[in-house]
Amino acid sequence: MIVRQVLRLLQKEYGVPQWRPRQDPVSTLMATVLSQNTSDANSERAFRSLVSVFADWETVAGADVDDIAESIRLGGLADVKARRIKLILRRIREERGDLDLDFLADLPMSEAKSWLRRLPGVGPKTASCMLLFSLGRPALPVDTHVFRVAKRLGLVDARVNPDRAHELLERLVAPEDVYSFHLLMIEHGRRVCKAQRPRCDLCVLKGLCPRNDVRGRQKENGS
């Protein structure tokens, strides 16, 4: 299968990512919310600032939205994300009685995703990030790099939207390969398969890529 070939070539090029659990589920969820529509560097700074200002997530849940926004100002969209964080924490506490999301580890995957996606501002990528990076579940987040590379390789149709791509790619990738596939596709998208001016001449996947076939035919035809 092409996914296996893609993964093997990427692992040979970049190495095999080693599993590293990140934070507890709520912390991972909050960090992922802060990463929405901003760079990794800015979102990480905002998260560090947030956890340095407030003692714990219960304190954040009880804090004024303006105070939350001020603590994450470095990350951009602070007012929007502060309201989202407050709403998410309140919803979790209303439904669960506390801010513990460990129960999601025991739910069927579809139910865990559905529960998370009912939270304000939590889409398929945010839900998958939390499940993968905090609980080690084989949910495949599709960020802009994964989406772009997957489309160029023909793993998903060019007309598919990112939400649908989550479902389609997760079916294609074996559960034990999800973590590696996600991180390596991001790495390849950043280094080689860039949005503008992809470095196709350096691409280890060019033998599998339909774009390479098209370019080869164009050269043969003198166009």
From 81, 86, 113, 125, active-site residue: 125
The CA R_g of the chain, rounded to the nearest whole Å, is 19
Question: Can you read off the two tokens belonging to residue 8?
Answer: 């093997």
DSSP string over 117-151: HTSTT--HHHHHHHHHHHH--------HHHHHHHH
Q: What single DSSP character describes residue 12? A: H
Are 6 and 153 spatial neighbours (Cβ–Cβ below 8 Å)?
yes
CA 214 to the chain's CA centroid? 30
125 is known as an active-site residue: yes
CA 198 to the chain's CA centroid? 21
CB within 8 A of 153, min separation 6: which ones?
2, 6, 205, 208, 209, 210
CB atoms within 10 A of CB 198: 17
- Please give the positions annotated as active site: 125
